[in-house]
Amino acid sequence: MNVAGGRELAWDGCVNVRDLGGLGQVRPGAVVRMEAPTRLSESGWATAWAHGVRTVVDLRNADECRPDVASRPPGITTVRVPLEPLGTPFYEHWQKIDDLASPLYYPAMLAEHPERVVAATRAIATAAPGCVVFHCAGGKDRTGLLALVLLTLAAASPEEIIADYLLTYERMRQRYAELGFGDQLAAVNECLASHGTTIAASLTSTIGSLTMPDFLLDNGLPEADLATLHARLTT
């Protein structure tokens, strides 16, 4: 089931699935990040269930959702928490800059729409016992932002967070090619270079400016949910 030292997971039908356990203080089996599980086969869902998954947090907008190839086990609850603030000046602004497809927009998102990030975080904190999967479409940008928040809370180093973020480009390379997209890593590097930065520098700056747990508490996460989240991630 597990490859590459235990963090990367082989769930039939999806290519970008990994447990965040082992990064910072996160325990294995607490949270898993992935691309949309639409292509998971019946055996893929069975493997997710065997990993302990009982909740799926979907960060996509409603119009992105597609029918699953195979039915989800009835014991798995899906919670939809759209992360992108569609129809806002923020969204229109960043769509023109990087199409919300690079870490460049992360600081602005955290500053201007923290309530959406906190809502996604709270969905994980208040989920039923068991492993929580969170995903967007490709498991890179929205998923990457939520992973950054969780990992920063769990005292992961910037190096760990950056390395985890970069894994998605390799894992999704073939899937992007199937969709007719070019080299996404090269495209993002080019975009960030035009703004005088890099992926690593942009992520490091975001992590450095994110004070935990104050960010979550100051933006509406109840202290009880913070305690529950910390226990879920680390205990």
Strands 53-58 and 2-3: unpaired
CA distances from 37 to 108, 158, 161 (A): 28, 27, 22
89 CB neighbour count, 10 Å cutoff: 9
Domain at 2-234, CATH from 3.10.50.40, 3.40.50.620, 3.40.50.720, 3.90.190.10: 3.90.190.10
pLDDT of residue 214: 98
Query: Tell me, what's the pLDDT at 40?
Result: 98
In the three-class reduction of DSSP (H, G, I as helix; E, B as strand; rest coil), residue 164 is classed as helix
Locate 155 and state its tokens. Answer: 């005292």
pLDDT the model gives residue 177: 87
**Rounded distance between C-alpha atoms, residue 161 and residue 200, angstroms:** 10
Q: According to the model, what pLDDT value does residue 115 have? A: 98
What is residue 84's predicted lDDT score, i.e. its pLDDT?
97
pLDDT at residue 4, rounded to an integer: 41
pLDDT given at position 3:
35
pLDDT of the chain, 235 residues: tens digit per residue: 333 447 999 999 999 999 999 999 999 999 999 999 999 999 999 999 999 999 999 999 999 999 999 999 999 999 999 999 999 999 999 999 999 999 999 999 999 999 999 999 999 999 999 999 999 999 999 999 999 999 999 999 999 999 999 999 999 998 888 888 889 999 999 999 999 999 999 999 999 999 999 999 999 999 999 999 999 999 8
Domain boundaries, the chain: 2-234
Residue with tokens 């390379």: 173
Distance CA 33, CA 135 (A): 6
Strand partners, 133: 32, 56
pLDDT (0 to 100) of residue 2: 36
Model pTM above 0.85: yes
- Predicted local confidence at residue 182, as pLDDT: 86
CA–CA separation, 58 and 100 (whole Å): 17
CA 103 from centre of chain: 12
